[in-house]
Chain A
Amino acid sequence: MDAEDEATGHMIEEEEIYVNGGEDGDESKRHRPIISGEQLDIEAYAALYTGRTKISRLLFIAEKCGNASMQLDALRMAYDEIKKGENTQLFREVVAKIDGRLGPNYGPDNAWADAVDRRAELRKEKLENELNAYRTNLIKESIRMGYNDFGDFYFAHGQLGDAFKNYVRTRDYCTTSKHIVHMCLNAILVSIEMGQFTHVTSYVSKAEQSQDALDSITIAKLRCTAGLALLEGKKYKLAARKFLETGPDLGNSYTEVIAPQDVATYGGLCALASFDRAELKSKVIDNINFRNFLELVPEIRELINDFYTSHYASCLEYLGNLKANLLLDIHLHDHVETLYEQIRNKALIQYTHPFVSVDLHMMANAFNTSVSSLEKELEALITNNQIQARIDSHNKILYARHADQRNTTFQRVLQTGCEFDREVRSMLLRANLIKHEFNLKASRKH
């Protein structure tokens, strides 16, 4: 029913960010039924991000892709990235996953791990002593910096819960709104890594309250994290609005959370799935700010234009091609199916809307599917009351059906009359019964 039908392997020659993977050129047998010609170029993808999110994304790709060589590539890059940092816990996990498949260079490097741990212990002690000193001195600013450093330390070592706690503790020692914004941004970063998006929403609103300290980059950051939280909460319409409001100043400044390509992809897909035509035109197609983002992912731009101009077959084809890569995205993974289904349903509804009768053969051609599967989809939509129509199964035509107002009014009137009749009669009866009971009780009293 969904985009898998469309992926007939017809590749579109497009200048797009996910270049055909050169290193893993062999199309080894994939366990997933998606036949898409383009695979994710992991290096290019990973280059978009920095910091901890890069590692999490690489690990996610390694887990979810069915391709062994791609998996090893992802793990290799994750290994390199972790070695640059100080997270020994994650290091051990990745080593276990690699399992010696990448050769001796990528084996468990216990020497390095121990060195890092020892360094961490020393630093932790130092930080604690400093913090205690500051606390006895009761200088707010230094206490705040102390807690902040602690938070950074725990974050670098992968202890996200402690990091979060420390960042939140700085709240009591924030004196200017700049401090508050700084704290909120840190808290948001950790919450996203932990996957607790309720915190993200609350801290975003907290940060937005201190208006004066916000420059346009920070505002853009806050908007897209709000959008991310809403996406996780499956509120696609609101998420789309947030993403579309993100200013182009975001640029590459927030790569430890999200890349501008992602803003375009998430915003575009959510908007397509939840906006109606008017909103789609005004907020997406005519939106100059968002155009900068869409330039980065021309496929999404083409896809939205196709949808608006009713070229549903090519729109659904683009979607099909993108699907494999989108399933590897850490935030979008759970929502791809739902969004695709919603977009497809909207396409079907929009197609049938202006017509009194539609030939199902032509419609099946337009959507690149067979008449019987189309009929089943339409039946589901009609039963859910999203299309007002009836299917003539013999001649394979869809007839729009407009409710006869007069008849329905009469029917409703008669029905209401009957219900009122019934209810009042039973009410009078019950009142009578209670009265008699009451009388009985009263007579028993005397």
Chain B
Amino acid sequence: MLLEDPMRGVAPMLTALQKLQYSSEQLTTLHPDFLLLCLLAKCYKTGLSILEDDIFEVDQPRDFLLYCYYGGMICIGQKKFSKALELLHSVVTAPMSVLNAIAIEAYKKYILVSLIHLGQFSSSFPKYTSSVAQRNLKNFSQPYLELVNSYCTGKISELEAFVQANNEKFESDKNLGLVKQVVSSMYKRNIQRLTQTYLTLSLEDIANTVQLNSAKEAEMHVLQMIQDGEIYATINQKDGMVRFLEDPEQYKTCEMIELIDSSIQRIMMLSRKLTDMDEQLSCDPLYLGKAGRERQRFDFDDFDTVPSKFTV
């Protein structure tokens, strides 16, 4: 990195990382640095391959936060918005005792990605978020929350006006590209809503409902969405009509069965991990100490399985 040539550092870092990990589930201090290199070198795919592994063991919380943040950015670059959402969500809800800048930046990006991917954003934090985060994160991301409000009204013109007004703020956070993606996702969401109500619709009507300028633009948008697999439709150019089709997935193919099977395997593995962790915790002396202290309140007649050494 000091040599201003991040590209050269990527490959050696990768090997170092793999050698340092004693299991693929562990996060080392090298991880965030590696991801930072990938970001700077713009070779997102290598970064992505590292992100594929799930992490379960973390030594340093700071490493973890940085890892998730950079990971989120790489996923955004690769347009894998659901994984980005996951990673950013982990940063925002990670247990922390003190507010740090990583969480604030991650929260801002989290809002934007949530709008692009899900079309909505709930500003209530899940229960397990640390109280520090709950109290303070909103104060630092005011313009983003207002963006959410104007997005929810569903009017493109309002949204664009708002973005124009707050251009410098978004620019200074280096989030302007993401914000532009939010605006374009709005068109997509409106068109998707139309598939729910109409069977066929003329391009003119689509352009009017979604507030596009002409039928040609509407056609381009619809075409793009069909190619991306976001809607299922056919365009009849002679009549200028679009016919919306149902999702052709019949859930009868071999691939689908394999997908379901692999999901089942994964989930079984996860539950096994959970039970392991539970067992480990119940043997932990600190936990027993606390639990034992509480049991004092019960009758002595209760069958006391906790040895008296742990009851203080």
Please report A residues at the B interface, Cβ cutoff 8 Å. Answer: 379, 382-383, 390-395, 399, 404, 406-407, 410, 413-414, 417-418, 420-422, 424-434, 436-438, 442
> B260, A414: Cβ atoms under 8 Å?
yes
Residues of B within 8 Å of A425, CB to CB, are 54, 56, 270
CA distance A379 to B160 in the complex (A): 26
> B196, A433: Cβ atoms under 8 Å?
no
Residues of B within 8 Å of A406, CB to CB, are 251
Partner of B277, one of A383, A428, A433: A428
Partner of A394, one of B128, B200, B273: B200
Residues of B within 8 Å of A428, CB to CB, are 56, 270, 273-274, 277
Residues of B within 8 Å of A393, CB to CB, are 198-202, 205, 241
Give 9 closest A-B pairs by Cβ, nearest first: A410-B251, A390-B199, A392-B199, A394-B200, A417-B263, A382-B197, A393-B201, A424-B270, A392-B200
CA distance A428 to B26 in the complex (A): 13
Residues of B within 8 Å of A420, CB to CB, are 267, 270
Tell me the nearest residue of chain A to B89, going by C-beta: A426
> A432, B197: Cβ atoms under 8 Å?
no
Tell me the nearest residue of chain A to B236, going by C-beta: A394
CA distance A424 to B276 in the complex (A): 13
Residues of B within 8 Å of A421, CB to CB, are 263, 266-267, 270
Residues of B within 8 Å of A442, CB to CB, are 286
Residues of B within 8 Å of A383, CB to CB, are 193, 196-197
Please report B residues at the A interface, Cβ cutoff 8 Å. Answer: 54-61, 64, 86, 89-90, 93-95, 97, 128, 193, 196-202, 205, 239, 241, 244, 246-247, 249-251, 256, 259-260, 263-264, 266-267, 270-271, 273-274, 277, 286
- A421 to chain B minimum Cβ distance, whole angstroms, is 6
Residues of B within 8 Å of A394, CB to CB, are 200-202, 239, 241
CA distance A399 to B260 in the complex (A): 33
Tell me the nearest residue of chain B to A391, going by C-beta: B198
Given contacts A417-B264, A429-B55, A429-B90, 4 further A-B contacts (CB under 8 A): A390-B199, A395-B200, A407-B249, A417-B263
> A433, B267: Cβ atoms under 8 Å?
no
Contact sample, A vs B, 26 pairs, CB 8 Å cutoff: A379-B197, A379-B198, A390-B196, A390-B197, A391-B197, A391-B198, A392-B199, A393-B199, A393-B200, A393-B205, A394-B241, A406-B251, A410-B251, A410-B256, A414-B263, A418-B263, A424-B274, A426-B89, A426-B90, A428-B56, A428-B270, A429-B58, A430-B93, A432-B57, A432-B58, A442-B286
Residues of A within 8 Å of B249, CB to CB, are 407
- A184 to chain B minimum Cβ distance, whole angstroms, is 45
- Evaluate whether A391 and B199 lie within 8 angstroms (CB atoms) in the complex, with A426-B89, A433-B61, A436-B58 already known: yes
> B277, A431: Cβ atoms under 8 Å?
yes
- A355 to chain B minimum Cβ distance, whole angstroms, is 15
Tell me the nearest residue of chain A to B274, going by C-beta: A424
- A14 to chain B minimum Cβ distance, whole angstroms, is 39
Residues of A within 8 Å of B277, CB to CB, are 428, 431
CA distance A355 to B243 in the complex (A): 22
Tell me the nearest residue of chain A to B276, going by C-beta: A428
- Evaluate whether A426 and B197 lie within 8 angstroms (CB atoms) in the complex, with A410-B251, A432-B57 already known: no
> B199, A407: Cβ atoms under 8 Å?
no
Partner of A433, one of B94, B205, B273: B94
Residues of A within 8 Å of B89, CB to CB, are 426
> B56, A429: Cβ atoms under 8 Å?
yes
Residues of A within 8 Å of B59, CB to CB, are 436
Tell me the nearest residue of chain A to B194, going by C-beta: A379
- A24 to chain B minimum Cβ distance, whole angstroms, is 46
Residues of A within 8 Å of B286, CB to CB, are 438, 442
CA distance A410 to B263 in the complex (A): 13
Residues of A within 8 Å of B271, CB to CB, are 424
CA distance A387 to B206 in the complex (A): 21
Tell me the nearest residue of chain B to A395, going by C-beta: B200
Residues of A within 8 Å of B266, CB to CB, are 421
Tell me the nearest residue of chain A to B206, going by C-beta: A393
CA distance A349 to B274 in the complex (A): 49
- Evaluate whether A434 and B93 lie within 8 angstroms (CB atoms) in the complex, with A390-B197, A394-B202 already known: no
- Evaluate whether A433 and B251 lie within 8 angstroms (CB atoms) in the complex, with A379-B197, A394-B239, A428-B56 already known: no
- Evaluate whether A407 and B128 lie within 8 angstroms (CB atoms) in the complex, with A394-B239, A422-B86 already known: no
> A433, B95: Cβ atoms under 8 Å?
yes
CA distance A424 to B275 in the complex (A): 12
Partner of B128, one of A404, A424, A430, A437: A430
- A444 to chain B minimum Cβ distance, whole angstroms, is 13
- A357 to chain B minimum Cβ distance, whole angstroms, is 10
CA distance A422 to B143 in the complex (A): 29
CA distance A424 to B277 in the complex (A): 12
- A295 to chain B minimum Cβ distance, whole angstroms, is 44
Residues of B within 8 Å of A404, CB to CB, are 246
- B299 to chain A minimum Cβ distance, whole angstroms, is 31
Residues of B within 8 Å of A392, CB to CB, are 198-200
Find the residue from A383, A393, A427, A434 having the highest chain B CB count within 10 A: A393
Residues of B within 8 Å of A434, CB to CB, are 95
CA distance A417 to B264 in the complex (A): 8
Tell me the nearest residue of chain A to B256, going by C-beta: A410
> B64, A433: Cβ atoms under 8 Å?
yes
Find the residue from B64, B97, B198, B259 having the highest chain A CB count within 10 A: B198
CA distance A429 to B196 in the complex (A): 38
Find the residue from B95, B97, B241 having the highest chain A CB count within 10 A: B95
CA distance A392 to B202 in the complex (A): 10
CA distance A433 to B244 in the complex (A): 47
Residues of A within 8 Å of B95, CB to CB, are 430, 433-434, 437
Residues of A within 8 Å of B58, CB to CB, are 429, 432-433, 436
Partner of B93, one of A379, A407, A413, A426: A426
Residues of A within 8 Å of B259, CB to CB, are 414
Residues of A within 8 Å of B94, CB to CB, are 430, 433
CA distance A438 to B94 in the complex (A): 14
CA distance A30 to B30 in the complex (A): 80
- A163 to chain B minimum Cβ distance, whole angstroms, is 48
CA distance A431 to B59 in the complex (A): 12
CA distance A418 to B82 in the complex (A): 11
- A382 to chain B minimum Cβ distance, whole angstroms, is 5
Residues of A within 8 Å of B267, CB to CB, are 417, 420-421, 424
CA distance A406 to B256 in the complex (A): 14
Residues of B within 8 Å of A429, CB to CB, are 55-56, 58, 64, 90
- A446 to chain B minimum Cβ distance, whole angstroms, is 13
Residues of B within 8 Å of A407, CB to CB, are 247, 249-251
Residues of B within 8 Å of A438, CB to CB, are 286
Find the residue from A390, A394, A420 having the highest chain B CB count within 10 A: A394
